[in-house]
Structure 1
Amino acid sequence: MATTELQQSSSDHDTEGQMSSSGRIKHGGWITFLFVTGTVMGLTLAAWGWISNLMVYLIEEFNVKSVDAAQISNVGSILFALTAMLDSLRPPPCERGSLDLCKPPSRVQFGVLYSGLALLSVGAGGPRSVITTMGANQLNRPEDRAIFFNLYFFTNYMCAAIGSTAIVYIEDNVSWALGFGICVLASLIGLAIFLSGRPFYCYDKPPGRPFLDLARVIVACFRKRKLPLSSRSEDYYYGFDGKANTVDATPAKNFRILSRAALKTEGDLKPDGSVAKPWRLCTVQQVEDLKALIRILPLWSSNLFVSTPKAIQASLTVLQALTMDRHLGSHFKIPAGSFQVLVFISSSISVVLVDRFLFPMWRKLTSRSPTPLQRIGVGHTMVVLSMAVSALVESKRLKVAHNHGPNFVPMLALWLFPQLVLVGIGEAFHMPSQVGLYYQEFPMSLRNTATSMAAMVYAIAFYFSSALIDLIRRVTEWLPDDINKGRLDNVYWLLVVVGILNFGYFLMCSTFFKYQSNADKERYVSNSGSDM
C-alpha cells in the first residue's frame, strides 16, 4: 500500500478516535497495527517453526511410522521443546537407521508429546484468530479494515514462510532443541510486543452473552410456535430504554418462524417495560442476529470441505518430499518440512498482485470489484486444480519409484512446486475474502468471534483430514507405511471429486445467500478492492 494512502487513512481515523490533550490519538487507529503485526509475527514464526517440521520430527526422533505421523500432526512451546532437549522424553534412536528396529515411545513420552501438541495448538490457534478481529476493531472506516485484512494476511504468510524455512533449516541441520527454542523465544517476543501496546488499544465493551441470547431466541420461538405473525411493528419488542433498539422496523421476512420470539404477549413485560420472562420474549435485534448467523453457516460449512483437502495435501506432500531428490545444486538440500513455504510465498505475492493489479483492472473493465463470493469461488477452483496436479505428479513419482527401487526416487522434488503454488494463489483469493465476509455479515454482538470462524474451519479440517486418512487406510491399500508401495495418486483423485462436489454445494449456497442489505453489499464490494 502506498505510504500516502496509509497516512491519509490514519489521518481520517484519527479525527474519529479519542484524542489526548496533546492532540495525539489516544485509543485505536493505525498506531495499533504496529503492535498487532509484531504480535502476529512472533506467533506465526513460532507456530510454523514447529508445524512445518512436525512430521519429520515424529518420524526421525519419535520413531513414528510415516502415515501415523501425518495423522498425529493434524491434531506449550516450552513443553514441546523439552522433548527435543531431554533424551528421557524421546525413545532411543533406531538401530542402523531402520524403522523395523525402532523402539516405540513409552506412554510417558507419548503423554508429554501429546500434552505439548495440545498446548501448542491452543497457543497457536487461539490468539492468532482473535487478534484478527481485535486489529480490525481498532479502525472505524470500512476502507481501513479492508486494507488491514490484506496487510494482516500478507504479514502472516511472509512470517509463515520464514518460519518454514529458516527455523526448519536450523532444526534439520543444527539442532532440534535450538530450533524449538527459537520458537519459544519468538512467542515470548510476540507477547512482549502485544503487552507494550496496551496503552494504545481501543477496548471493546463486552457484548454480554450473545450465545445465550441466541439460545433464548430458539426457546422463545418454540414456546410461541402457535402464535400468528403480525405485520405491525408495534407488536414486536425492540428493547428496554433503547438499549437494544438498533432495528426500527418489522423483522425481516426471511426465516419468519423465528420472528415469533419477538412477539409481545400478555405477561411478557413488566410494568416498567422491561422483560419479565427472558426465555419467552427476545428483542427484534436478537432475532435478526440469529437469522444472520443462519444465513452465513452454509457458506462457512462449504469452506470446511475446501480446507480438508489442503490439510491432507500439506501432510502428504512432506511424505512425498522425503522420498524424492531435494537437492538444489551440490551442497544444499531442501528440508522436507519446508516445502509448505511455497504456499506462503505464493499467497503473499498473490495477495499483492491481486489487490494492486487484478482487482483495479477488473474495476476498470466492469466498473465494480469482484464480490466476496466470487473471490472465494476462485479459491475453491484453485484448490481443486491443485489436487488434480498433485495426482498427476504422484502418478509420475510412483512410475519412477517402481522402476528404480523402493528406498529412493530419482525424481526432483521441484515437481511438487506447481501444486503448492496453486494452493497459495487460491489462498490469496479465499482467505482474506472469507474473513472480511464474516466480519461484515456476522451480527455485531458476535463480531469478536467472526474471524475466529475462519480459524475454526482449519482446525476442524485437520481433524477431518486425519479421520479421512484413517478411513482410507481401513478400506483401501492406498496408504501403506511405505508410500512407494501405495496409490497416493488415488487419494488425490478422491480429493478432486470431493472438491468438485463441494464447489457445487458452494455455488448452491451462494445462490441463496443474501447480504444483510444491498447497502452492505455495495459498501463491502467497493471497499474490498482497496489497494495495498
Structure 2
Amino acid sequence: GTSPVNIRGKPILSKTGGWIAAFFIFGNEMAERIAYFGLSVNMVAFMFYVMHRPFSSSANAVNNFLGISQVSSVLGGFLADAYLGRYWTIAIFTTIYLMGLTGITLSATISALMPSQDHCDQLSLILGGCEKVKSWQMLYLYAVLYLTAFGAAGIRPCVSSFGADQFDEKSRDYKSHLDRFFNFFYLSVTVGAIIAFTMVVYIQMKHGWGSAFGSLAIAMAISNMMFFVGTPLYRHKLPGGSPLTRVAQVLVAAIRKRSASFHSSEFVSLYEVPGKHSAIRGSGKIAHTDDFRCLDKAALQLKEDGMNPSPWRLCTVTQVEEVKILLKLLPVTACTIMLSVILTEYLTLSIQQVYTLNTHLGHLKLPVTCMPVFPGLSIFLILSLYYSTFVPLSRRITGHPRGASQLQRVGIGLVVSILSVAWAGIFERYRRSYAIEHGYGAIFLTAMPNLSAYWLLIQYCLIGIAEVFCLVGLLEFLYQEAPDAMRSVASAYASIAGGLGCFVATILNKIIESITGRNGNPSWLAQNINTGRFDYLYWLLAILSVINFSAFLYSAKKYKYR
C-alpha cells in the first residue's frame, strides 16, 4: 500500500477517512443509482408511450444505454489512476451526469421535443397509428441520454475504490472494515434502486414524465452537494501515471526481447529499482511471480541495456507484475457477464410479463414498473441478515473468518442466478399456457385477474440474492487483488462485465428474433408475449449459465490470491 494524502497532495496529519467519510460517498452512489435505475425502468415506457417507438427497439435502446454507461467506465478508471485521482474524476463526471439528467427532463417537459400525443390511445400505439417521432427529436433524446451514460461511466469505477481508500491499510481491522464497506456500499446501491422503483414511479404516475425525470436530476444535485461537503474528510491516493502506458511498455519490451534467453551470458537480472518504494507513484513494490513467464522478458536486464534504458525496452518487475495481475483478474470477471445478461433480460422483458398478470396486493394495486423493486427488497434483507445469519453459519462449514472467500461468494451468486432463470422459464411456460387456455392469447396488454404477478417474486428474489453474493464479492475481490496504482481500472472490470452483459442481451435478442421469426412465424420475443416463447429464452439462459459456471469453477480453482 501507499501513504494517503489530502486533496492538495500533502501527507495527512489530522484524523481523516473512516466511516464518516465513507457515508458521504455512500450518498453520492445512492443518488447515482436512483438516476441509473430510474432511467432504466422508465425510459423503455417513455420511448414507447411518449416517443411512439416500438417496444422491442425501445428495450434495445435502453440496453445499449446501460451497456455503454458500464463498458465506457474504463475511461473513468483510466483518468482516475493516471491523472485526476478518484476525487476529481467523481467531481467532474457527476457534473456531466447532472447536465444529462437535466437534458432528459427537458425532453419530457417541452412539447416541441416530443411527438404530438393527440388521438394516441393504447390501440393506436399497438397499431402504430400515433404521430411518428421526428428524427431530430430522437437525436436530441439520444444525445442527452448518452451524455448521462458518459457521466455514469466516469463515476462508477471510482466511487467504490474511493470509498475503500478511506480505510487505513495498516489497521489491524482493515480487512474486516473493507468487507463491511463493500456490503454497505451495495446496500446504498440497493436503497437507490428501491427509491427508483417506487418513489420515482409514483411521481411519474401522479405528476408525469417531466416531474419523474426532474426528481432524478434533483437527487443527483443534492448528492453532488453532499459529496463536496465531505471534501475535508477524504483521504486520497496519488495517481500513478497512465496505467495503459505502463501496460503498453511491458508488452512492447517483452516483444522486443522475445528472443532473449534467461540463461544467456548477457542476462544480468530481472530489473527493479533499489529501495523500499517502486518507480510507480502511488504503488508499493510487487514481488515477482512465475505466471506469464513470457512477460518477464520485459524486465530482463541485459548488458546491452546500459545505465539508463528506455522504459519501452526495460521495465521494472513491479510494472510487469501489474500487467500479470490485470490478466489474472480477467477470467473470473468474465464469468460474471452471464449474470448481467439475466439481469438485463429481467429488467426489460419481464415488464411485458407483468402487464398480463394481476398486480393487486389485497386492495392495493401496484404499478407494473414497481415490480423490479422486489429484487432490491430481497437484497436489502440479505445484506441486513448477512453478518448475523450467513457469516456464522457458513463459517462453520468453510472455516473462513468472514464466512466465505470472495471467489466462493461469486460462485454462490452464479449458482443462485441459475435457479432464478430456471424458475423464470417454468413459470413463463405456465403463464403462457394459462393465457391461451383462458382466451387471453391475443390480448397481451390486459391483466389476467386470476393469475398473480407475485409468482414472479421467486425469480426476482433469487436474482437479488445472486447479486448480493456475486457482485459484492467481485467488487471486493477486484479492489483487494488489484495493483495499488490500478485499483480504479480494476474496479472498472466489474462495470465492463455488466456493460458487456447488456450488449450480449441485445445481440442475443436480435439473433433469436431473426432465427425464430422466419417465414412469418412469431419469434420467441414477439411483441404479443402470448404468441412468443419467453420460456424458451429463459431456459436457453439457464443452459448458458450452467456452462458459464463450469468455466468459473475452472478459473477460480486456478487463481491464487495475492
Show the counterpart of 2:273.
239
Partner of 2:512: 472
Higher mean C-alpha deviation, range 180-189 or range 85-94: 85-94
The count of corresponding residues between Structure 1 and Structure 2 is: 489
Tell me which of 452, 471, 487 is aligned to 1:412.
Answer: 452
Query: C-alpha separation between the residues in 1 aligned to 2:246 and 2:551?
Result: 30
Offset of residue 439 of structure 1: 0.7
Structure 2 spans left out of the alignment, 5+ residues: 1-10, 65-99, 169-173, 517-522
The reply to whether residue 325 of structure 1 matches residue 349 of structure 2 is: no
CA distance in 2: counterparts of 1:360 and 1:205, whole angstroms: 38
- One-letter code aligned to 2:143: S
1:312 to 326, 345, 349: 345
1:257 to partner: Cα distance: 1.3
Q: 2:529 matched to 1:495?
A: no
Matched, 1:73 2:62: yes
Change (3 A) 1:506 1:459: same
Q: Which residue is 1:380 aligned to?
A: 414
**Aligned runs of 1:343-492 on 2, under 5 Å?**
343-368=375-400, 369-402=403-436, 403-405=438-440, 406-407=442-443, 408-410=446-448, 411-476=451-516, 477-492=523-538
Who is 2:193 aligned against? 160
Letter paired with 1:458: G
Aligned equivalent of 1:257, options 276, 287, 294 = 294
Q: CA deviation at 1:28?
A: 2.1
What pairs up with 1:88-99 in 2 under 5 angstroms? 88-93=112-117, 95-98=120-123, 99=125
CA distance in 2 between counterparts of 1:152 and 1:96 reads: 43
The residue identity in structure 2 corresponding to 1:85 is: T
Distance in 2, matches of 1:498 and 1:63, equals 34
Q: Which amino acid aligns with 1:73?
A: V
> Take 2:204 and 2:480, find their aligned partners in 1: how far apart are those partners?
41
Tell me the distance in 1 between the aligned counterparts of 2:481 and 2:306.
31
Call closer, same or farther: CA 1:212–1:248 in 2, change over 3 Å: closer
Residue 205 (structure 1) aligns with: 238
1:378 Cα deviation from its structure 2 partner: 0.9
Q: What is the CA-CA distance between 1:29 and the residue it aligns to?
A: 2.3
Deviations 1:319-362 (A, max 9, x none): 111222222334x3322222111111111211222332111222
**2:33 aligned to which of 27, 44, 51:** 44
Three-state SS of the structure 1 residue aligned to 2:471 is: helix
1:404 maps to amino acid: G
Counterpart secondary structure, 2:144 = helix
| Structure 1: distance between partners of 2:146 and 2:47 | 15
| 3-state SS of paired residue (2:31) | helix
CA deviation profile, 1:502-522 (whole Å, cap 9, x unmatched): 111111111211212xxxxxx
**Take 1:175 and 1:115, find their aligned partners in 2: how far apart are those partners?**
22
- Residues 124-177 of structure 1, C-alpha deviation per residue, up to 9 Å, x if partnerless? 343133111001011112222111111111121022111211111111233111
- TM-score, length-scaled by structure 2: 0.83
Q: Would you identify which runs of 4 or more consecutive aligned residues in structure 1 move more than 4 Å?
A: 230-234, 240-243, 245-249
2: CA distance, partners of 1:134 / 1:221: 33
* Contact in 2 for aligned 1:28/1:139 (Cα 8 Å): yes
Distance in 2 between residues matched to 1:342 and 1:123, nearest whole Å: 27
Please state whether the residue corresponding to 1:208 is helix, strand or coil. Answer: coil
Q: Which moved more, 1:378-387 or 1:50-59?
A: 50-59
- 2:324 pairs, out of 288, 291, 295, with 291
CA contact (8 A) 2:102 2:217 kept: yes
Contact 2:27 2:188 in 1 (8 A): no
In the alignment, is the contact (CA less than 8 A) between 2:332 and 2:555 conserved in 1? yes
Gaps of 5+ in 1: 1-16, 517-532
Which residue identity is paired with 1:487? R
Quote the residue 1:520 is aligned against: none
Aligned partner letter, 2:120: E
In structure 2, distance between residues paired with 1:389 and 1:289: 42
Q: Distance in 1 between matches of 2:533 and 2:161?
A: 42
Which of 116, 135, 141 is equivalent to 2:144? 116
User: Following TM superposition, by how much is the alpha carbon of 1:377 offset from its aligned partner in structure 2, in angstroms?
Assistant: 0.7
CA pair 95-154 structure 1, distance change in 2 beyond 3 A: closer
Q: Give a deviation string over 1:457-499, Cα, whole Å, max 9, x none.
A: 1122112211111111111111112222111111111111111
Offset, 1:60? 1.3
Query: Secondary structure of 2:298's match?
Result: helix
C-alpha distance 355-231 of structure 1, shift in aligned 2 (>3 A): farther
Task: Go from structure 1 to structure 2 and tell me whether the alpha carbon gap of 1:143 and 1:177 turns closer, same or farther (over 3 Å shift).
Answer: same
Question: Which segment drifts farther, 180-189 or 341-350?
Answer: 341-350
In structure 2, C-alpha distance between the alignment counterparts of 1:386 and 1:130, rounded to whole Å: 30
Deviating more after overlay: 227-236 vs 199-208: 227-236
Letter in 1 for 2:58: A
Is contact 1:306–1:502 with CA below 8 Å preserved after alignment? no
Q: Judging changes above 3 Å, is the alpha-carbon distance between structure 1 residues 495 and 366 closer, same or farther for their aligned structure 2 residues?
A: closer
**AA matched with 2:199:** A
> What secondary structure does 2:330 align onto?
helix
Identity score, percent: 30
Which of 303, 307, 317 pairs up with 1:266?
303
What is the letter of the counterpart of residue 40 of structure 1? Answer: E
- Residue of structure 2 in register with 1:528 after alignment: none
1:103 to 127, 131, 144: 131
Determine the structure 2 residue equivalent to 1:277: 310
- In 1, are the aligned partners of 2:268 and 2:303 still within 8 Å (CA)? no
Q: Does the 8 Å contact 1:55/1:73 carry over to 2?
A: yes
1:401: how far off? 1.8
- The residue type equivalent to 1:376 in the other structure is V
Larger deviation, residues 56-65 vs 148-157: 56-65
- Preserved contact between residue 77 and residue 120 of structure 1 (Cα < 8 Å): yes
Whichever residue aligns with residue 97 of structure 1, its letter is Q
Counterpart contact for 2:326–2:490, Cα < 8 Å: no
The amino acid that maps onto 1:394 is E
Measured in 2, the distance between the counterparts of 1:170 and 1:28 equals: 36
The CA deviation at 1:449 is 2.2
The one-letter amino acid of 1:65's match is P
Q: Contact (CA 8 Å) 1:229, 1:259: kept in 2 or not?
A: no
Distance 1:307 1:86, change over 3 A: same
For residues 188 and 469 of structure 1, what CA distance do their matches in structure 2 show? 36
Distance 1:451 1:326, change over 3 A: same
Q: Which amino acid aligns with 1:514?
A: K
Contact 2:41 2:348 in 1 (8 A): no
For 2:218, give the aligned amino acid. Answer: L
1:147 alignment partner, SS class:
helix
> For 1:1-54, what per-residue CA distance to the aligned partner results, in whole angstroms no more than 9, with x for missing partners?
xxxxxxxxxxxxxxxx9444xxxx1x3222211211221222222222222222
Q: Which deviates more, 175-184 or 92-101?
A: 92-101
Q: Tell me by how many angstroms 1:417 deviates.
A: 1.0
**Helix, strand or coil at the partner of 2:303:** coil
**Whole-angstrom distance in 1 between the partners of 2:264 and 2:160:** 40
Give the alignment's Cα RMSD to 1 decimal: 2.1
Whether the 8 Å contact between 1:299 and 1:510 is mirrored in structure 2 is yes
**AA partner of residue 559 (structure 2):** F
